Amino acid sequence: MKTAAGKKLYQALNITEFEYNEILSRLKRKPNDLETYLFSAMWSEHCGYKHSRKYLKRLPLGGTVCEGENAGGVLVGDHVITFKVESHNHPSAIEPFQGAATGIGGIIRDILAIGARPVALLNSLKFGKLTDKWVKHLFNGVVDGISTYGNSIGVPTVAGEVGFDKCFTDSPLVNVMAIGVVHKDKIKSAKAIPGNNIVLVGSHTGRDGIHGASFASKELNENSKEDRPSVQVGDPFMKKVLIEATLEILELEEVVSCQDCGAAGLLSSTSEMGSMGKCGLELHLDKVNLREEVMEPWEIMLSESQERMIFMVTDQGLDKVLNIAKKYDISGKIIGKTDTSGLYKLLWNGEQVACLPPALLTSGPVYTLNENEPKYISEYKNKEFQSSISISIEEGVKKLLADPNFASKKWVYRQYDHTVGNRTSLKPGEGGSAGIWLDEEGGVVGLTIDSNGRQVFLDPYNGAKNTVWESYRNLVSDGFNPLGVTDCMNYGNPEKDEVAYQFVKSIDGIADACKAASIPVVSGNVSLYNESTDLRVYPTPTTGMVGYTDNYDKLIKNSFSKNETVYLIGKQIDETSNIGGSLYQMVCYDFLGGSVDSVDENLEISLKDTIFNLRDNHLLDGCIDISEGGLFGALFEGLKSGNSGFESILNDSEITEKVLFGEITGRYLISVKDTNQTEKLLNNNKIPYKKLGKCTGNNIKLGNIALNLAELTDLYDKTIELEMAK
Amino acid sequence: MKAGVVVFPGTNCDRDTKKACEHFGWETDYIWHDESNLDDYDIIFLPGGFSYGDYIRAGGLATFSPVVQAIKDYVKNKKGYVVGICNGFQILCETGLLPGTLSVNDNTRFICDVVGLATSDDKMPEAISLPIAHGEGRYFADDETLKQIQQDNMIFLRYQDNPNGSLLNIAGLIDRKNNVIGMMPHPERAVFKETGNTDGMYFFKLLEAEIK
């Protein structure tokens, strides 16, 4: 078939000549038109991971439960905590409300497909500068989408991060992480087994989201808004019903496997199931319930209509499954069978319209990326930061607190139901991470999501490594032992050498960090082509990390209260410290450059052990890890939570921008009452430390500078709200 | 004590409410929305969520369900207590079992927070704090109704720092003549130590005292 523009179909579908030849040689014949459509979706970057697959293999998986399934997990007692982070960047760039809403829908289905009840959501959002009108529209739309959808389905949104930088103006990042809980004996696989019925449950299939997978695999440009029909439309009510129906269906022994319909809908779900089980499938497309009167077979296969699940069911189980669908008033339809042919066969009114091995669809080409260091790396590294005497410490503090990157995100999380589910032990603002009570086992699961694009841009290897350790420190500061990681890799166009280098080096950084921390990467997602004609996003690996503590009483507060003494434990900043990528340099000086601090893995692990020692010896009152905003940022957050002023014992030469705001790895602030015992323990554990001062009064006093806590808190709390009211 | 927790498609606090009831040793069942026999129960909860998607208006569609019709008879025949929390309160107002209505929050946004509440029941402490999570929680009624509500001592929960623009700071109403309670805050989310707040316990203790 030729298209109107005289292009061949495969060309119009963005299949390259190389890939088309690959199809011909593997298939040993020309694909028909329908098959060409199938390849275009399954071999897209979004479904095929063709630029990333080779490198993702470097990530450590040891200890993962449900490896290779829709979402991996870690074991806590008899239960699996399953979790995954996924992006919905491209749809959110043009249709923020639906883009973000369906992003939640998609990740929830991944958790559901293995039989787990979703218990929490987190998100990592990046936008352009908040003063920009278009950015406000995107920010508001995304938050509204998450609020409307997440709140309705009854899964609490318990934590997240929001960042703002010019590079995200055209390509916002919307990463959503979901967490589920399932008993280890009740996990369902997505592997197809011959001799079963294929049942499609949930919404009817319509034309929405067709080509969504390919749309998510290209750069955005001024014509991208024309791709709006490629954005799926979500229905949270239907999703809530589907969650309950699915969990009831998955209780049945007669259901042998399950898969959700996400990107490339029915096509990717069924072909992946077939491919995983090396099993044949026969799908009768005319049996699929449709929303439109007439749809072509290729449209049915590529539709990304939301809220649909595929179940493989024995003959004996069919009635039970269909009755559950009926109880919930949703559609349930037998659309095919599995067999031993090893072939993926599509039928349309009895006639076979496509036939090929499913593995051909699911194992697309694998590209090798250019790993040479691009020029910009050394250029930025050699940029020298010049502090200006015209900006005083007081001004610096105020600028930092009023920067939307640092300021309170209460305007955002107040719109998310973070307590539904009756499990939220640590709410937004109460710690470095969120806590979900695992009453099934008696303890609390810790959850965090983090990224630091500035550092990764300057130094992809060390920056990515530190992203993982930042998540680690967030969990440790609240008293959780880190157990596993999920990552979402957000990058520009991988066909460009700079991006290729950023991607490969960050994978290596994440892999090395996880190995050193002895935690597996249980799941993940890659989002490429996040760039427009003018702007490319910082290379942004987002890491979601899960930890655990066996007792609620072992959680550590994030507040520094009156009469407690504050210590900095871990690395200290001196003249030689590398603080490249620090937020204050960007906020006060619009500067990005220099070297990024490298992580000392042994110190990180001893810091964790020491913090837990202090807690178990009842010496620890508060703990906060030091990240964005540096020492002062962490100190302010602790004092604000504890509602106390502070009197520092730092000498004047230490009250500098670099010491107060600089960002390096491997450190925490702690607050204690018994300084003697604390110092003894720190000395015994060979932890470097520095006493900073005492919590007292209503002002934060640093040398001869006195900052009013209430005034600073007001600035911190209201920045985003006021900006959004403009 | 036997409790029933009504489940509509779209309800999302059914499990939370059952978990809380069971914590107090109450035998608790789910009641599916097509059920019409409620004779077994001492108390019926209409829990939070988005019944039937809350399309048209919060609680609007639920009023037509068989279970809500059965609840009307249950109330009329004084079979026991009916408690509507959040979406349940909205349904009770839509049905006319409680006066007034709940409209969109005055900031037009969904609000999730922990709020301070003044109570007017001597079986509860004077002030407690409970979680709220709603987009349509602004209590509204005409002047005459408001007067009547006050005369009948129906306001048992008031916001200390009104988050949503509710008239008279109304957060919860109790109709002692008919044993119907409606409230926007979520007491069931504040029962377990592990959720950081146990003030909801006072409400469940109040119910126990009322029913015994």
Q: Choose the mutation target among B110, B130, B193, B199 for the interface with A, i.e. most A CBs under 10 Å.
A: B110
Q: What is the mean pLDDT of residues A700-722?
A: 95
Fold of A22-51+188-366: Phosphoribosyl-aminoimidazole Synthetase; Chain A, domain 2 (3.90.650)
Other beta carbons within 10 angstroms of residue A422's beta carbon come to 26
Contacts for A444 with CB less than 8 Å, ≥ 6 apart: A425, A426, A435, A436, A437, A438, A480, A548, A549, A551, A552, A555, B194
Work out the end-to-end distance of chain A between its first and last CA atoms, rounded to an integer number of angstroms: 53
Q: Which residues pair with B44 in a beta bridge?
A: B4, B82
Catalytic site includes residue B86? yes
Give residue for tokens 């959680």. A555
Q: Which two tokens stand for residue A658?
A: 């670099």
Q: Which two tokens stand for residue A281?
A: 């499938």
A328 touches chain B (CB under 8 A): yes
Q: Choose the mutation target among B13, B112, B129, B164 for the interface with A, i.e. most A CBs under 10 Å.
A: B112
Facing B194 at nearest CB: one of A151, A329, A425: A425
Give SS3 for B151.
helix
Ordered DSSP codes for A483-528? EEEEEEEE-S-TTSHHHHHHHHHHHHHHHHHHHHHT--EEEEEEE-
Q: Choose the mutation target among B5, B8, B12 for the interface with A, i.e. most A CBs under 10 Å.
A: B12
DSSP A404: T
Q: Is the pLDDT of residue A20 over 80?
A: yes
Closest of B133, B136, B130, B135 to residue B156, by C-alpha: B130
Chain B residues whose beta carbon lies within 8 Å of the beta carbon of residue A151: 110, 112, 133, 135
Q: What is the mean pLDDT of residues B61-74?
A: 93
Radius of gyration of chain A from its Cα atoms, rounded to whole angstroms:
26
Q: What is the mean pLDDT of residues B108-124?
A: 94
At A377, the amino acid letter reads I
Strands (E) in A638-688, as ranges, are 646-648, 667-672
Domains and CATH numbers, chain B: 2-211 (3.40.50.880)
pLDDT band of A230, cuts 50, 70, 90: low
Give SS3 for A628.
coil
pLDDT of residue A476: 98
Query: pLDDT higher for A221 or B31?
Result: B31
Give residue for tokens 């040479």. A372
pLDDT of residue A3: 63
pLDDT of residue A353: 94
Q: What is the mean pLDDT of residues A597-614?
A: 98
pLDDT of residue A137: 96
Q: What is the mean pLDDT of residues B165-174?
A: 97
Do A318 and A197 touch, CB atoms closer than 8 A?
Answer: yes
Alpha-carbon distance A470 to A626, whole Å? 9
CB atoms A413 and B112 under 8 Å: yes
Alpha-carbon distance A303 to B76, whole Å? 51
pLDDT of residue A546: 98
> Which regions of chain A carry the CATH code 3.30.1330.10?
68-186+427-555
Alpha-carbon distance A653 to A1, whole Å? 75
Chain B residues whose beta carbon lies within 8 Å of the beta carbon of residue A153: 12
Instruction: Note the CATH number of domain A369-397+557-726.
Output: 3.90.650.10
pLDDT tens sequence across A339-357: 999 999 999 999 999 999 9
pLDDT tens sequence across A615-670: 999 999 999 999 999 999 999 999 999 999 999 999 988 899 999 999 999 999 99
pLDDT of residue A66: 79
pLDDT tens sequence across A234-250: 678 888 889 999 999 99
Contacts for A487 with CB less than 8 Å, ≥ 6 apart: A59, A85, A510, A521, A524, A525, A541, A542, A543, A544
Q: Is the pLDDT of residue A228 over 60?
A: no
Strands (E) in A534-576, as ranges, are 540-549, 565-570
Q: Is the pLDDT of residue B60 over 90?
A: no
Query: pLDDT higher for B103 or A224?
Result: B103
**H helix or E strand, kind and range, residue B102:** strand B101-103
pLDDT of residue A374: 96
**Catalytic pick among B13, B134, B136, B188:** B188
Chain B residues whose beta carbon lies within 8 Å of the beta carbon of residue A439: 192, 194
pLDDT of residue B212: 76
Q: What percent of chain A has pLDDT over 90?
A: 79
At A79, the amino acid letter reads H
pLDDT tens sequence across A359-380: 988 888 889 998 899 999 999 9
pLDDT band of A13, cuts 50, 70, 90: confident
Residue in B closest to A423 by C-alpha? B195
Alpha-carbon distance A255 to A249, whole Å? 7
Q: Å from A488 to nearest chain B CA? A: 28
Q: What is the mean pLDDT of residues A505-531?
A: 95
Least confident of A42-46, A447-451, B79-83: A42-46
DSSP B177: T
Rounded to the nearest 5 percent, the helix, strand and coil shares of chain B are 30, 30, 40
Q: Is the pLDDT of residue A213 over 70?
A: no
Q: Which residues pair with A434 in a beta bridge?
A: A447
pLDDT of residue A391: 79
Strands B127-134, B111-119: pairing is: antiparallel
Facing B112 at nearest CB: one of A154, A240, A419: A419
**H helix or E strand, kind and range, residue A353:** strand A351-356
Strands A481-490, A443-450: pairing is: unpaired
pLDDT band of A386, cuts 50, 70, 90: confident
Residue in B closest to A437 by C-alpha? B194
Alpha-carbon distance B92 to B83, whole Å? 9
Do A570 and A666 touch, CB atoms closer than 8 A?
Answer: yes
The ipTM of this complex is 0.96
- Give the burial class of A655: count Cβ atoms within 10 A of its Cβ; 0-12 exposed, 13-18 middle, 19 or more buried: middle
pLDDT tens sequence across A256-286: 999 988 888 899 999 989 988 889 999 999 9
Q: Å from A514 to nearest chain B CA? A: 30
Query: Looking at chain A from residue 666 to 705, which residues have their Cβ under 8 Å from any Cβ of chain B?
Result: none
Q: Which two tokens stand for residue B191?
A: 């029962």
pLDDT band of B211, cuts 50, 70, 90: confident
Give SS3 for A611.
helix
Q: What is the mean pLDDT of residues A451-473?
A: 97
Q: What is the mean pLDDT of residues A164-183?
A: 96
Q: What is the mean pLDDT of residues A88-108?
A: 91
Catalytic site includes residue A46? yes
Q: Is the pLDDT of residue A516 over 70?
A: yes
Q: Is the pLDDT of residue A572 over 70?
A: yes
Q: Is the pLDDT of residue A152 over 70?
A: yes
Closest of A171, A41, A167 to residue A94, by C-alpha: A171
Chain B residues whose beta carbon lies within 8 Å of the beta carbon of residue A238: 53
Rounded to the nearest 5 percent, the helix, strand and coil shares of chain A are 40, 25, 35
Chain B residues whose beta carbon lies within 8 Å of the beta carbon of residue A154: 12-13, 49
Alpha-carbon distance B149 to B98, whole Å? 10
The Cβ-side half-sphere exposure at B30, using a 13 Å CA radius, reads 13
> Which regions of chain A carry the CATH code 3.90.650.10?
22-51+188-366, 369-397+557-726
pLDDT tens sequence across B141-150: 999 999 999 9
pLDDT tens sequence across B7-37: 999 999 999 999 999 999 999 999 999 999 9
CA angle B53, B59, B62 (to 5 degrees): 80
Alpha-carbon distance A676 to B102, whole Å? 57
> b or e along A660-683 (b: 16 or more beta carbons within 10 Å of the residue's beta carbon)?
bbbbbbbbbbbbbebeeebeebbe
Instruction: Note the CATH number of domain A68-186+427-555.
Output: 3.30.1330.10
Contacts for A612 with CB less than 8 Å, ≥ 6 apart: A476, A479, A481
Q: Which two tokens stand for residue A89?
A: 């960047």
Do A162 and A128 touch, CB atoms closer than 8 A?
Answer: no
Give residue for tokens 């008919």. B178
Q: Is the pLDDT of residue A227 over 80?
A: no
CB atoms A422 and B192 under 8 Å: yes
Q: What predicted TM-score, i.e. pTM, was given to this entire model?
A: 0.94
Contacts for B137 with CB less than 8 Å, ≥ 6 apart: B86, B102, B105, B111, B163, B164, B166, B184
pLDDT tens sequence across A403-436: 999 999 999 999 999 999 999 999 999 999 999 9
